[in-house]
């Protein structure tokens, strides 16, 4: 059974990898909110996710990719290939309309 995607774990991992404290996000979020996000008690909106990623200096898709691949970074290639394939298909469908 595949592991469930975890934005909470990805957020915590990137924050720690960047050497940032929860307080480093004070311009966009409270420490309490960050703690709630990292414990999976709350889910960020897309706008909030973008703001958090700006503080960490990563693209939001990087964080979401990490949420889906977790401890298996080699899975990122497979996932990104799937995304590219789906985007191509959707683009072709959209262009035909």
pTM of the model: 0.85
Give 41's pLDDT tier (boundaries 50, 70, 90). very high
Of 5, 11, 8, 14, residue with least CA distance to 69: 5
Asked whether residue 1 carries a pLDDT value surpassing 50, the answer given is no
Q: How many residues does the chain have?
A: 97
What pLDDT digit, counting tens, does each position of 42-63 carry? 999 999 999 999 999 999 999 9
What confidence score (pLDDT) does residue 73 get?
Answer: 75
- E strands within 1-97? none
Q: At what angle do helices 60-69 and 75-96 cross, to 10 degrees?
A: 120
For residues 97 and 86, what is the distance between their CA atoms, to the nearest angstrom? Answer: 17
Q: Say if CB 33 and CB 42 are below 8 A apart.
A: yes
Query: Element (H or E) spanning 89, and its range?
Result: helix 75-96
What confidence score (pLDDT) does residue 74 get?
Answer: 83
What pLDDT digit, counting tens, does each position of 65-97 carry? 999 998 887 899 999 999 999 999 999 877 776
Superfamily of domain 7-96 in CATH is lambda repressor-like DNA-binding domains (1.10.260.40)
């Amino acid at each position: 059974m595949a592991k469930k995607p975890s934005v909470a774990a990805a957020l915590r991992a990137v924050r720690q990898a960047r050497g940032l404290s929860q307080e480093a996000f004070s311009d966009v979020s409270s420490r309490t909110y960050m703690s709630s996000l990292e414990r999976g008690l709350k889910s960020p909106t897309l706008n909030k996710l973008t703001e958090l990623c700006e503080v960490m200096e990563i693209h939001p898709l990087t964080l979401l990719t990490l949420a889906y691949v977790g401890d298996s970074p080699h899975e990122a290639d497979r996932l990104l290939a799937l995304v590219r394939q789906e985007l191509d298909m959707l683009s072709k469908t959209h262009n035909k309309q």
